[in-house]
Amino acid sequence: MLPAARKQGLFFSDSRISRAVLLYYTILNDLKGVLSVVKIELTEKEFRRLLDMVYIGNWILNSTRGEDRFEDYDLVESKIFSLCKKYHMDALYENRLGTAIPSVAFEDGGIHEAIADYEDTVFFEILAEELARRDMNFEPVTQDNFDELADRVDEYIEEFETNGIDNISLDK
């Protein structure tokens, strides 16, 4: 746990009894075309984890989209982060033009390191599979060649774990 975050009261130890956090949000019921209310009861610790999950989900969906963002996900993120003040997590959000957004403190608190770790893992897994499939002439994966593909992927993953991308070269 980050010492600075503990001092700001952003994390709660398991021994501290956290009051239940009631989280209300609305979702559109597509089948009936009416607004439904969903009630979720969370502890403060669970609410803090929800902030991370909402942020990561919106980051994955929107971070590369530029102006073509999925605005409905931005709205849900804003709605969730707007509850921070109510639950004494003021440092985790800021209000910009009437919209609650994750604060710089939230974004600098380690969330991007978690995202980067995920992105690195996905990058190397995709690269390993693509290289293994290339080695097999991009044959469709079948029961007959699946084990060979898996072995090749494992070999590439082992190489990347040992040497990163140092041994990768491109021939033009």
Give 73-129 pLDDT, tens digit per residue.
Answer: 999 999 999 999 888 999 999 999 999 999 999 999 999 999 999 999 999 999 999
Provide the token pair at 19: 């009051």
Does residue 74 contact residue 15 with C-beta atoms inside 8 Å? no
Task: Read off the pLDDT band of 147 (50, 70, 90).
Answer: very high
What predicted TM-score, i.e. pTM, was given to this entire model?
0.70
Residue 56 has a pLDDT of 97
CA–CA separation, 105 vs 76, rounded Å?
20
Residues 6+ apart with CB under 8 A from 98: none
Name the residue ranges covered by the structural domains of the chain.
3-102, 112-163
pLDDT band at 34 (very low <50, low <70, confident <90, very high): low
Average pLDDT, the chain: 83
What CA–CA distances, in Å, run from 128 to 82, 137, 149, 151?
41, 14, 10, 11
The CA–CA distances, whole Å, from 33 to 24, 72, 74, 106 equal 19, 16, 21, 35
Query: Residue 25 pLDDT > 80, yes or no?
Result: no
